[in-house]
Amino acid sequence: MKVNVKIKRFNPEADKRPYWAEYSLEVRETDRVLDVINQIKWEMDGSLSYRRSCAHGICGSDAMLINGVNRLACKILVRDLGEVINIEPIRGLPVLKDLIVDMEPFFDSYKAVLPFFINEDPEPPTERYQSAEDREIFDASTKCILCACCTTSCPVFWTNGRYIGPAAIVNAHRFIFDSRDQGADERLQILNQSNGLWRCRTAYNCTEACPRDIPITKAIEEVKRELLWRRA
């Protein structure tokens, strides 16, 4: 099938502002958007820049704003989009070139919530036991691939880039509700700051955008309640 692809391009060395480049090409309807932009780059315009790595929805490199919604280019098929495909870089992060954004502010927020296991007790001779029920509480939050689809779909993040964002809160959730972890108080204190958790206005764009189907808003609300009840 023939598709018309519009890509918002920007080369900081040549362009004053971003512009829409149009490409018309023949693709299969079972192609993914990543295949389409690969075809553009390899056969039509080698200067097109974007990130991709595993191409199977696990590395989280190719998050893009495709037809108005944040998705992974490697997880959306042409037949689900139709003949017109508009691709923009994800919003709220500085564009470096074409579809590549500076992810550092995003990773800084992630690092800020101490996304690692904290337990000062001496290591037990066997495992640190956790029941299946206790594991289930934060199961969804372990699935995050840090693609930034959620954080860059958030209207609050677009207007306030210092908001810690849904991805960081989900990764905090993963440890706050881990029965073996002891860092919950410290993480909740970090999330309680002015650009933390409470900036969430429950617009649900994060939940809709997540390519891993994590119920993000649910996780954020659970952290909000945890913080509230612990302080009460």
Partner 1 sequence: MYRGREGQWAFLLHRISGVALALYLLLHVIDISLVMYGPDGPFNAFLGFYHQWPFRIGLVAVMAGVVYHAFNGLRIIIMDFTGWGVKYQAVMWYGVLALTAIVGVPVLVKVIPEIIGRA
Kindly state whether residue 25 participates in binding partner 1, applying the rule CB under 8 A. no
Which of 150, 153, 174, 226 is the binder for partner 1 (CB under 8 A)? Answer: 153
Task: Give me the least distance between CB of 207 and partner 1, in Å please.
Answer: 8
Kindly state whether residue 151 participates in binding partner 1, applying the rule CB under 8 A. no
Q: Please give the C-alpha separations between residue 48 and each of 36, 37, 44, 53, in angstroms, as whole numbers.
A: 12, 8, 9, 16
Phi/psi at 95 (5° precision): -80, 125
Question: Which lies closer to partner 1 via its Cβ, residue 38 or residue 195?
Answer: 195
Kindly state whether residue 141 participates in binding partner 1, applying the rule CB under 8 A. no
DSSP SS3 for 37: helix
Which of 25, 55, 59, 69 is the binder for partner 1 (CB under 8 A)? Answer: 69
Kindly state whether residue 230 participates in binding partner 1, applying the rule CB under 8 A. no
**In the block, residue with structure tokens 């509700």:** 177
Kindly state whether residue 96 participates in binding partner 1, applying the rule CB under 8 A. no
Using the contact rule CB under 8 A, the part of the chain among 39-47, 48-56, 60-68, 115-123 near partner 1 is 60-68
Kindly state whether residue 82 participates in binding partner 1, applying the rule CB under 8 A. no
Q: Please give the C-alpha separations between residue 78 and each of 7, 36, 210, in angstroms, as whole numbers.
A: 15, 8, 19
Neighbours of 105 (CB within 10 A): 18
Task: Give me the least distance between CB of 91 and partner 1, in Å please.
Answer: 8
C-alpha Rg value of the chain to the nearest Å:
20
Question: What gap in Å lies between CA 147 and CA 63, rounded to an integer?
Answer: 6
Kindly state whether residue 215 participates in binding partner 1, applying the rule CB under 8 A. yes
User: Helix H segments across 62-154?
Assistant: 104-112, 132-136
Residues in the site for partner 1, rule: CB under 8 A? 65, 67-69, 91, 153, 155, 201-205, 207-208, 215, 217-218, 221-222, 224-225
